[in-house]
Chains A and B, each alone.
Chain A
Protein backbone atom coordinates (compact mmCIF):
# COMPACT_ATOMS: atom_id res chain seq x y z
CA UNK A 1 0.00 0.00 0.00
CA UNK A 2 1.23 3.46 -0.88
CA UNK A 3 1.34 6.29 1.66
CA UNK A 4 -1.98 7.90 2.55
CA UNK A 5 -3.06 10.50 -0.01
CA UNK A 6 -4.93 13.64 1.10
CA UNK A 7 -7.51 15.88 -0.58
CA UNK A 8 -5.02 18.75 -0.62
CA UNK A 9 -2.50 16.61 -2.53
CA UNK A 10 -4.60 16.13 -5.66
CA UNK A 11 -5.64 18.40 -8.52
CA UNK A 12 -8.16 18.29 -11.33
CA UNK A 13 -6.48 16.70 -14.34
CA UNK A 14 -4.17 14.49 -12.26
CA UNK A 15 -3.94 10.87 -13.31
CA UNK A 16 -3.97 8.33 -10.49
CA UNK A 17 -1.50 5.39 -10.47
CA UNK A 18 -2.38 2.75 -13.06
CA UNK A 19 -3.26 -0.83 -12.21
CA UNK A 20 -2.33 -3.36 -14.89
CA UNK A 21 -4.18 -6.67 -14.95
CA UNK A 22 -3.76 -9.69 -17.19
CA UNK A 23 -6.20 -12.55 -16.60
CA UNK A 24 -5.39 -16.21 -16.88
CA UNK A 25 -8.32 -18.55 -17.51
CA UNK A 26 -7.66 -19.75 -13.95
CA UNK A 27 -8.43 -16.25 -12.69
CA UNK A 28 -11.74 -16.29 -14.60
CA UNK A 29 -12.68 -19.57 -12.92
CA UNK A 30 -11.77 -18.08 -9.54
CA UNK A 31 -13.96 -15.08 -10.35
CA UNK A 32 -16.84 -17.36 -11.41
CA UNK A 33 -16.68 -18.99 -7.98
CA UNK A 34 -15.96 -15.80 -6.07
CA UNK A 35 -18.70 -13.72 -7.67
CA UNK A 36 -21.25 -16.51 -8.16
CA UNK A 37 -21.43 -15.84 -11.92
CA UNK A 38 -21.30 -19.27 -13.50
CA UNK A 39 -22.09 -18.20 -17.09
CA UNK A 40 -20.16 -20.65 -19.27
CA UNK A 41 -18.96 -18.13 -21.87
CA UNK A 42 -16.27 -17.18 -19.36
CA UNK A 43 -14.68 -20.63 -19.04
CA UNK A 44 -16.02 -23.00 -21.74
CA UNK A 45 -14.65 -22.09 -25.18
CA UNK A 46 -17.17 -24.27 -27.05
CA UNK A 47 -20.10 -22.50 -25.42
CA UNK A 48 -18.37 -19.14 -25.98
CA UNK A 49 -17.95 -20.00 -29.69
CA UNK A 50 -21.61 -21.09 -29.85
CA UNK A 51 -22.54 -17.61 -28.67
CA UNK A 52 -20.58 -16.02 -31.49
CA UNK A 53 -17.59 -15.08 -29.35
CA UNK A 54 -13.94 -15.47 -30.36
CA UNK A 55 -13.27 -17.53 -27.23
CA UNK A 56 -13.84 -17.15 -23.51
CA UNK A 57 -14.09 -13.52 -22.47
CA UNK A 58 -13.35 -11.67 -19.25
CA UNK A 59 -16.42 -11.04 -17.08
CA UNK A 60 -17.61 -7.45 -17.20
CA UNK A 61 -18.10 -7.43 -13.44
CA UNK A 62 -14.47 -8.52 -12.94
CA UNK A 63 -13.35 -5.42 -14.82
CA UNK A 64 -15.66 -3.40 -12.61
CA UNK A 65 -13.98 -5.01 -9.58
CA UNK A 66 -10.55 -4.19 -11.03
CA UNK A 67 -11.64 -0.54 -11.15
CA UNK A 68 -12.71 -0.92 -7.52
CA UNK A 69 -9.21 -2.13 -6.68
CA UNK A 70 -7.70 0.78 -8.62
CA UNK A 71 -9.68 3.18 -6.41
CA UNK A 72 -9.14 1.28 -3.16
CA UNK A 73 -5.38 1.12 -3.60
CA UNK A 74 -5.22 4.83 -4.45
CA UNK A 75 -7.42 6.27 -1.65
CA UNK A 76 -5.64 4.41 1.15
CA UNK A 77 -7.13 3.28 4.45
CA UNK A 78 -8.57 6.71 5.32
CA UNK A 79 -10.32 7.11 1.98
CA UNK A 80 -13.79 5.85 1.12
CA UNK A 81 -15.43 4.89 -2.16
CA UNK A 82 -18.84 6.56 -2.45
CA UNK A 83 -19.80 5.49 -5.92
CA UNK A 84 -18.25 3.98 -9.01
CA UNK A 85 -19.53 2.56 -12.25
CA UNK A 86 -18.48 1.42 -15.66
CA UNK A 87 -20.09 0.37 -18.90
CA UNK A 88 -18.97 -2.72 -20.77
CA UNK A 89 -18.28 -1.36 -24.23
CA UNK A 90 -15.65 -3.77 -25.46
CA UNK A 91 -14.59 -7.34 -24.77
CA UNK A 92 -11.36 -8.32 -23.06
CA UNK A 93 -9.81 -11.75 -23.33
CA UNK A 94 -7.38 -13.77 -21.20
CA UNK A 95 -3.60 -13.13 -21.42
CA UNK A 96 -4.03 -9.58 -22.75
CA UNK A 97 -3.30 -6.54 -20.59
CA UNK A 98 -6.27 -4.76 -19.03
CA UNK A 99 -4.95 -1.36 -17.95
CA UNK A 100 -7.05 0.34 -15.26
CA UNK A 101 -6.75 4.11 -15.20
CA UNK A 102 -8.34 7.19 -13.64
CA UNK A 103 -8.18 10.97 -14.03
CA UNK A 104 -9.52 13.53 -11.54
CA UNK A 105 -12.34 15.64 -13.00
CA UNK A 106 -13.55 17.63 -9.95
CA UNK A 107 -12.88 18.38 -6.28
CA UNK A 108 -15.73 19.50 -4.03
CA UNK A 109 -17.11 19.62 -0.50
CA UNK A 110 -20.40 18.00 0.44
CA UNK A 111 -21.82 17.49 3.94
CA UNK A 112 -18.42 18.28 5.42
CA UNK A 113 -16.66 15.64 3.31
CA UNK A 114 -13.94 16.24 0.77
CA UNK A 115 -15.03 14.56 -2.46
CA UNK A 116 -13.07 13.82 -5.59
CA UNK A 117 -14.77 12.88 -8.88
CA UNK A 118 -12.92 10.85 -11.46
CA UNK A 119 -13.25 9.40 -14.92
CA UNK A 120 -12.16 5.77 -14.66
CA UNK A 121 -11.76 3.14 -17.33
CA UNK A 122 -10.05 -0.02 -18.47
CA UNK A 123 -8.15 0.00 -21.73
CA UNK A 124 -6.31 -2.47 -23.91
CA UNK A 125 -2.63 -2.15 -24.80
CA UNK A 126 -3.63 -0.31 -28.01
CA UNK A 127 -5.58 2.28 -25.98
CA UNK A 128 -9.12 1.08 -26.78
CA UNK A 129 -11.30 1.88 -23.77
CA UNK A 130 -13.33 -1.22 -23.03
CA UNK A 131 -14.97 -0.18 -19.73
CA UNK A 132 -15.42 3.57 -19.27
CA UNK A 133 -17.02 4.89 -16.10
CA UNK A 134 -17.10 7.45 -13.33
CA UNK A 135 -16.30 7.44 -9.64
CA UNK A 136 -16.66 9.57 -6.54
CA UNK A 137 -14.41 9.02 -3.53
CA UNK A 138 -13.92 10.70 -0.17
CA UNK A 139 -10.34 11.62 0.69
CA UNK A 140 -9.15 12.66 4.15
CA UNK A 141 -8.30 16.33 4.57
CA UNK A 142 -5.24 17.69 6.33
CA UNK A 143 -7.80 20.06 7.85
Chain B
Protein backbone atom coordinates (compact mmCIF):
# COMPACT_ATOMS: atom_id res chain seq x y z
CA UNK B 1 0.00 0.00 0.00
CA UNK B 2 1.42 3.36 -0.91
CA UNK B 3 0.63 6.36 1.19
CA UNK B 4 0.63 9.90 0.02
CA UNK B 5 3.84 11.67 0.98
CA UNK B 6 3.44 14.29 3.71
CA UNK B 7 6.06 16.54 2.20
CA UNK B 8 5.00 18.10 -1.08
CA UNK B 9 7.20 19.97 -3.53
CA UNK B 10 5.47 23.16 -2.39
CA UNK B 11 6.49 22.46 1.20
CA UNK B 12 10.01 21.49 0.21
CA UNK B 13 10.37 24.83 -1.55
CA UNK B 14 10.33 26.71 1.78
CA UNK B 15 13.41 24.88 3.09
CA UNK B 16 16.21 27.39 3.51
CA UNK B 17 14.01 30.42 2.81
CA UNK B 18 14.49 33.12 5.42
CA UNK B 19 11.51 34.77 7.09
CA UNK B 20 11.23 38.52 7.51
CA UNK B 21 13.66 39.59 10.25
CA UNK B 22 12.14 40.17 13.68
CA UNK B 23 13.31 42.73 16.19
CA UNK B 24 13.95 41.15 19.56
CA UNK B 25 14.33 43.27 22.67
CA UNK B 26 16.41 42.01 25.56
CA UNK B 27 15.23 43.72 28.71
CA UNK B 28 15.91 43.46 32.41
CA UNK B 29 12.42 42.50 33.50
CA UNK B 30 12.25 39.66 30.99
CA UNK B 31 15.71 38.36 31.97
CA UNK B 32 14.77 38.42 35.65
CA UNK B 33 11.50 36.58 34.95
CA UNK B 34 13.29 33.96 32.91
CA UNK B 35 16.09 33.48 35.45
CA UNK B 36 13.60 33.23 38.30
CA UNK B 37 11.48 30.68 36.41
CA UNK B 38 14.55 28.50 35.88
CA UNK B 39 15.68 28.97 39.47
CA UNK B 40 19.01 30.59 38.72
CA UNK B 41 20.84 31.77 41.84
CA UNK B 42 23.64 33.79 40.18
CA UNK B 43 23.00 37.50 40.76
CA UNK B 44 24.54 38.26 37.36
CA UNK B 45 21.02 37.61 35.99
CA UNK B 46 19.23 39.88 38.46
CA UNK B 47 21.38 42.71 39.82
CA UNK B 48 22.81 45.22 37.38
CA UNK B 49 25.43 46.61 39.78
CA UNK B 50 26.62 43.07 40.49
CA UNK B 51 26.73 42.22 36.77
CA UNK B 52 28.76 45.39 36.09
CA UNK B 53 31.16 44.45 38.89
CA UNK B 54 31.77 41.24 36.91
CA UNK B 55 32.62 43.16 33.74
CA UNK B 56 29.27 43.06 31.96
CA UNK B 57 27.39 46.03 30.46
CA UNK B 58 24.22 45.07 32.35
CA UNK B 59 22.53 41.90 33.55
CA UNK B 60 23.18 39.15 31.00
CA UNK B 61 21.02 36.65 29.13
CA UNK B 62 20.80 33.27 30.85
CA UNK B 63 21.41 30.20 28.67
CA UNK B 64 18.38 29.59 26.49
CA UNK B 65 17.11 33.18 26.67
CA UNK B 66 17.46 35.51 23.72
CA UNK B 67 14.91 38.18 24.46
CA UNK B 68 11.39 38.39 23.16
CA UNK B 69 10.12 39.33 19.74
CA UNK B 70 8.17 42.58 19.85
CA UNK B 71 4.51 41.68 19.77
CA UNK B 72 1.97 43.91 18.07
CA UNK B 73 -1.66 42.88 17.50
CA UNK B 74 -1.34 43.09 13.71
CA UNK B 75 1.31 40.34 13.62
CA UNK B 76 0.34 36.67 13.41
CA UNK B 77 0.73 34.28 16.29
CA UNK B 78 1.22 30.52 16.19
CA UNK B 79 -1.39 27.83 16.88
CA UNK B 80 -1.12 28.21 20.64
CA UNK B 81 -1.23 31.99 20.55
CA UNK B 82 2.45 32.70 20.93
CA UNK B 83 4.09 35.61 19.20
CA UNK B 84 7.47 34.08 18.66
CA UNK B 85 10.55 34.00 16.49
CA UNK B 86 9.14 31.75 13.80
CA UNK B 87 10.26 30.74 10.33
CA UNK B 88 7.92 30.96 7.31
CA UNK B 89 4.65 29.02 7.41
CA UNK B 90 4.60 25.65 5.68
CA UNK B 91 2.06 25.66 2.84
CA UNK B 92 -0.49 22.86 2.74
CA UNK B 93 0.51 21.29 6.05
CA UNK B 94 -2.28 19.03 7.36
CA UNK B 95 -0.65 17.58 10.46
CA UNK B 96 -1.80 19.63 13.44
CA UNK B 97 -0.28 18.31 16.64
CA UNK B 98 3.10 19.59 17.59
CA UNK B 99 5.67 18.29 20.04
CA UNK B 100 8.93 19.97 20.86
CA UNK B 101 11.65 17.52 19.83
CA UNK B 102 14.78 19.31 20.93
CA UNK B 103 16.61 22.59 21.29
CA UNK B 104 20.15 23.76 20.68
CA UNK B 105 21.78 27.08 21.50
CA UNK B 106 25.12 28.20 20.12
CA UNK B 107 26.94 31.33 21.26
CA UNK B 108 29.90 33.12 19.75
CA UNK B 109 31.66 34.67 22.72
CA UNK B 110 29.73 37.96 22.83
CA UNK B 111 27.91 39.14 25.93
CA UNK B 112 24.16 39.53 25.30
CA UNK B 113 22.87 42.02 27.86
CA UNK B 114 19.73 43.83 28.92
CA UNK B 115 19.30 46.86 26.69
CA UNK B 116 20.44 45.04 23.56
CA UNK B 117 18.19 44.98 20.52
CA UNK B 118 18.82 41.95 18.36
CA UNK B 119 17.71 41.11 14.86
CA UNK B 120 16.46 37.54 14.52
CA UNK B 121 16.37 35.80 11.14
CA UNK B 122 14.69 32.39 11.03
CA UNK B 123 14.39 29.68 8.45
CA UNK B 124 13.24 26.11 8.07
CA UNK B 125 16.50 24.25 7.88
CA UNK B 126 15.08 20.83 7.09
CA UNK B 127 11.88 18.80 6.69
CA UNK B 128 11.85 15.04 7.00
CA UNK B 129 9.24 12.32 7.24
CA UNK B 130 9.53 9.55 9.77
CA UNK B 131 7.28 6.78 11.01
CA UNK B 132 7.47 6.14 14.72
CA UNK B 133 5.47 5.70 17.88
CA UNK B 134 3.09 8.50 16.90
CA UNK B 135 2.53 7.13 13.41
CA UNK B 136 3.68 9.19 10.44
CA UNK B 137 5.46 12.30 11.57
CA UNK B 138 6.99 15.35 10.05
CA UNK B 139 10.29 16.35 11.61
CA UNK B 140 10.79 20.08 11.23
CA UNK B 141 14.16 21.66 11.95
CA UNK B 142 14.28 25.43 12.37
CA UNK B 143 17.23 27.73 12.74
CA UNK B 144 17.25 31.30 14.01
CA UNK B 145 20.28 33.53 13.89
CA UNK B 146 20.54 36.54 16.19
CA UNK B 147 22.57 39.61 15.23
CA UNK B 148 23.53 42.51 17.48
CA UNK B 149 23.39 46.21 16.64
CA UNK B 150 26.78 45.98 14.89
CA UNK B 151 25.42 43.18 12.71
CA UNK B 152 27.56 40.57 14.39
CA UNK B 153 26.16 37.04 14.79
CA UNK B 154 25.83 36.51 18.55
CA UNK B 155 23.69 33.39 18.87
CA UNK B 156 21.96 30.62 16.95
CA UNK B 157 18.92 28.72 18.15
CA UNK B 158 18.07 25.41 16.48
CA UNK B 159 14.80 23.68 17.18
CA UNK B 160 13.27 20.36 16.24
CA UNK B 161 9.48 20.16 16.01
CA UNK B 162 7.60 16.88 15.65
CA UNK B 163 4.27 17.28 13.85
CA UNK B 164 1.77 14.45 13.62
Minimum Cβ distance to chain B for residue A58 (Å): 11
Encoded as 1 (CB less than 8 Å from any B CB) or 0, chain A from 70 to 82 comes to: 0111000100111
A88→B38 CA distance, assembly (Å): 17
B63 and A81 contacting across the interface, CB-CB below 8 Å: yes
Chain A residues contacting B100 (CB-CB under 8 Å) are 59-61, 88
Which residues of A23-39 have CB atoms within 8 Å of chain B's CB atoms? 27, 30-31, 33-39
Minimum Cβ distance to chain B for residue A136 (Å): 9
Minimum Cβ distance to chain A for residue B3 (Å): 23
Minimum Cβ distance to chain B for residue A76 (Å): 10
Minimum Cβ distance to chain B for residue A87 (Å): 4
Encoded as 1 (CB less than 8 Å from any B CB) or 0, chain A from 84 to 107 comes to: 111110000000000000000000
Minimum Cβ distance to chain B for residue A117 (Å): 14
Minimum Cβ distance to chain B for residue A31 (Å): 4
Residue among A38, A67, A73 facing the most chain B CB atoms (10 A cut-off):
A38
Chain B residues contacting A81 (CB-CB under 8 Å) are 63, 105, 107
Chain B contributes a number of interface residues (CB within 8 A of A) equal to 36
Q: Which of A39, A51, A64 touches B64 (beta carbons < 8 Å)?
A: A64
Task: Report which A residues bind B (CB closer than 8 A).
Answer: 1, 21, 27, 30-31, 33-40, 51, 59-62, 64-69, 71-73, 77, 80-88, 133, 138
5 extra A-B contacts, CB within 8 A, seeds A65-B62, A68-B105, A86-B102: A21-B39, A33-B33, A64-B105, A65-B64, A85-B102
Task: Report which B residues bind A (CB closer than 8 A).
Answer: 30, 33-42, 44, 54, 62-65, 68, 80-84, 97, 99-107, 109, 158, 160
